[in-house]
Amino acid sequence: MTKPRILRSNIPVVDVSERSVGEYIWNKLSQLEEKSICLINAESNEQLTIGALKHRCQAVATALLAHGIARTDRLAFYGQNTIPHVVLRLATKLLGLPVCPLSPTFEAYEVDQECQSIGVTVAVCSASHLHKFSRLLQSDYKHNIRLVVVFDGHHDCHMTYDQLLVEGGDRALTKVPHFPVNPDVDPVILIHTSGSTGRPKCVMLKHKSILALLSERGHFLDPGTGTDHVIGAPYPMGHISGTSIIPLQLCLGARVVIYPDFDVELLFRSIERYKINFLPTFPSFGRKLVEGDLCDKYDLSSLRLVNTGGSPLAASISLAIIDKYGVVFREGYGMTEYLFIVRGTDVDQPFIPGSCGPVSPGTEVKIVDITTGAMLGPDTDGEICVRGNKMFAGYLNNEKAYREAFDGEGWYRTGDIGRYDDRENIYITDRLKEVIRIGIGNTYINISPVEIESYLLTHPAVEETAVVGVNNKAGTHWPRAYVMLKHGCHASAVEIENFVSDTLAQTKHLKGGVVFVDSIKRIGMGKVDRKYYRALVSDEIIN
């Protein structure tokens, strides 16, 4: 029997001289041909060169300084994937300030809650989403918001992107980053988790961890296309993947095609128009590459690499994609706390359905028994634990949760179940995490059942509740609430559903329904027995 072992990459870690993400990005952009196209808006065909991108980032950064931006500021971003959005984010990195992405599904309630918990002082958004900040800007917290910047158009009350460009002119920062950065401590990204075991926690991703990711970029995302590298980037920038992939690909010298309002046919059309050869996407989109009319309506022969992550794609679909397009197909695995745990199947290796490939450089993985914590050998399922150079710095204002996430030897417990084979390829087989996976177009997001439960408990008639995801025909979930009413109180299912839909994001609406019960089943420490409720709905598929 093969002994248990710690999995490590056979690819050496790449050391970088830069001490901040802004400095790294600026240095990489400065090495690229100024006239080469780097950003394309798939809807409008607006295009930007490397030279123009650098000029605009510097102009915006200097203009923000003129408006009093300081080292203590935190900038929240909300809106579509557009060129101004990318420029504003990169300018923030050149300044050395943290980016706080907000989910594109958020309503005013969630924006208010998240911005206050992070300590946001600058709000940056598209004109069509400015109303999402209404609750925040009308609250007592409004005095902490020193500046609101709108991506597009004109606005009577707030600063706009175009105004910043004019004010910045040809000025440039005297150094990058403008503010001093401690790469071992200072966060470059502040983003909330999905909240699998409690309310969502704000993950702090430090400069050092993101620098490690950027320096290893070629091992993760090499489509084998040389310098002719065109990527379709459908992930919303409010998602951790969109936040990380776009700057990473710009540093590679890729042409990055972005989608302000995602549409499946627009993505297919853009693959044909711009000869996209690398497509990172969600498993829910994979089926569309081989089924339906659109995949044969457009010429997709330029594709060389298709990458999915978040959940396994059916083996039959993966193999059909490889057979139809002759692409390299990879399944990724990572999380907000550790962005890339694996590097995907090596280009020169055959695709193994269900495998995420070996671990990424600078990363260690072990599989442990979920009961005893003992390290396991190959082909045995257990909890995946990870440590390495891309680890997050902590949970903002929640040191207790951070400590509890690690074992005594510094291993982060992912909450995911998996195994490895004799060649040290990793397979994800189940999840201890109990998020509800909601489909939104081509993508999905993870929703915290605890967050919905906490809100339901503010209803005057609700005594206890348990929220679970019910399978739907799209292959994702819809939330369902099991509700125990207070003695002597009455409420209808429609009333409970409306209570949620009137305030929370559409992704949190109780489309799986409301079921009234006499009691909520719990386990030790009073926790909701989520395993029981998942089993209760496991055979259901809602149309």
Closest to 77 in 3D by CA, of 95, 61, 90, 96? 90
Task: Please report which confidence band the pLDDT of residue 158 belongs to, taking 50, 70 and 90 as the band edges.
Answer: very high
Q: In the predicted model, is pLDDT for residue 312 greater than 70?
A: no
Residue 112 domain-assigned (yes or no):
yes
- Tokens representing 531 are 């395993």
Of 241, 264, 287, which residue constitutes the final position of a domain?
Answer: 264
What pLDDT score does 249 carry? 92
What pLDDT score does 225 carry? 52
Task: Please report which confidence band the pLDDT of residue 432 belongs to, taking 50, 70 and 90 as the band edges.
Answer: low
Residue 328 domain-assigned (yes or no):
no
What pLDDT score does 155 carry? 82
What pLDDT score does 285 carry? 78
Task: Please report which confidence band the pLDDT of residue 194 belongs to, taking 50, 70 and 90 as the band edges.
Answer: low
Residue 40 domain-assigned (yes or no):
yes
Q: In the predicted model, is pLDDT for residue 524 greater than 90?
A: no
Contacts of 493 (CB under 8 A, 6+ apart): 513, 514, 515, 516
- Tokens representing 310 are 């978040």
Q: Which residue has the tokens 């329904």?
A: 513
What pLDDT score does 205 carry? 98
- Whole-number percent of the chain with pLDDT over 90: 67
The domain in which residue 87 lies consists of 32-264
Residue 150 domain-assigned (yes or no):
yes
Q: How many CA atoms lie within 13 A of 338 on its CB side?
A: 29
Domain count, the chain: 2
Give CA–CA dist 257/189, Å, rounded.
23
Q: What is the mean pLDDT of the chain?
A: 91
Give CA–CA dist 336/139, Å, rounded.
29
Q: In the predicted model, is pLDDT for residue 390 greater than 60?
A: yes
Of 244, 264, 284, which residue constitutes the final position of a domain?
Answer: 264
What pLDDT score does 199 carry? 65
What pLDDT score does 7 carry? 97
Contacts of 411 (CB under 8 A, 6+ apart): 366, 385, 386, 387
Q: In the predicted model, is pLDDT for residue 226 greater than 60?
A: no
Task: Please report which confidence band the pLDDT of residue 287 belongs to, taking 50, 70 and 90 as the band edges.
Answer: confident
Q: In the predicted model, is pLDDT for residue 224 greater than 90?
A: no
What pLDDT score does 38 carry? 98
What pLDDT score does 467 carry? 94
Residue 7 domain-assigned (yes or no):
no
What pLDDT score does 119 carry? 97
Task: Please report which confidence band the pLDDT of residue 195 belongs to, taking 50, 70 and 90 as the band edges.
Answer: low
Residue 369 domain-assigned (yes or no):
no
Closest to 246 in 3D by CA, of 101, 438, 395? 101
Task: Please report which confidence band the pLDDT of residue 65 belongs to, taking 50, 70 and 90 as the band edges.
Answer: very high
The mean per-residue pLDDT over the stretch 404-430 comes to 92
Of 209, 241, 264, which residue constitutes the final position of a domain?
Answer: 264
- Tokens representing 105 are 């599904």
Top-confidence residue, 220 or 256? 256
Q: In the predicted model, is pLDDT for residue 35 greater than 80?
A: yes
Give CA–CA dist 106/44, Å, rounded.
25
**Cα three-residue angle 77-35-251, rounded to 5 degrees:** 45
Least confident window among 256-260, 307-311, 492-496: 307-311
Instruction: Express the helix, strand and coil content of the chain in percent, nearest 5 each.
Output: 30, 25, 45
Dihedral, 381, 387, 389, 391 alpha carbons, nearest 10: 90
Give CA–CA dist 469/371, Å, rounded.
26
Q: How far is CA 185 from CA 121, 144, 181, 204, 234, in A?
A: 20, 24, 8, 9, 31
Phi, psi angle pair for 275, to nearest 5°: 55, 50
Q: In the predicted model, is pLDDT for residue 462 greater than 80?
A: yes
Q: What CATH number does the domain containing 47 carry?
A: 3.40.50.12780
Q: In the predicted model, is pLDDT for residue 1 greater than 70?
A: no
What pLDDT score does 440 carry? 76
What pLDDT score does 220 carry? 56
Q: Which residue has the tokens 């179940």?
A: 417
Q: In the predicted model, is pLDDT for residue 328 greater than 60?
A: yes
Residue 224 domain-assigned (yes or no):
yes
Q: How many CA atoms lie within 13 A of 493 on its CB side?
A: 11
Cβ atoms 6, 364 nearer than 8 A: yes
Q: What CATH number does the domain containing 480 carry?
A: 3.30.300.30
Task: Please report which confidence band the pLDDT of residue 433 belongs to, taking 50, 70 and 90 as the band edges.
Answer: low
Q: In the predicted model, is pLDDT for residue 423 greater than 80?
A: yes
Q: In the predicted model, is pLDDT for residue 431 greater than 70?
A: no
Give CA–CA dist 48/54, Å, rounded.
10
Task: Please report which confidence band the pLDDT of residue 246 belongs to, taking 50, 70 and 90 as the band edges.
Answer: very high
Residue 1 domain-assigned (yes or no):
no
**What's the whole-model pTM score?**
0.85
Sign for the pseudo-dihedral over CA of 213, 219, 220, 226: positive
Q: In the predicted model, is pLDDT for residue 197 greater than 70?
A: no
Q: In the predicted model, is pLDDT for residue 114 greater than 70?
A: yes
Q: Which residue has the tokens 């091992």?
A: 219
Least confident window among 172-176, 352-356, 505-509: 352-356
Phi, psi angle pair for 235, to nearest 5°: -65, 130
Residue type, 519: S
Cβ atoms 37, 48 nearer than 8 A: yes
Element (H, E) at 115: helix 108-118
- Tell me the pairing of strands 443-447 and 436-440: antiparallel
Task: Please report which confidence band the pLDDT of residue 241 belongs to, taking 50, 70 and 90 as the band edges.
Answer: confident
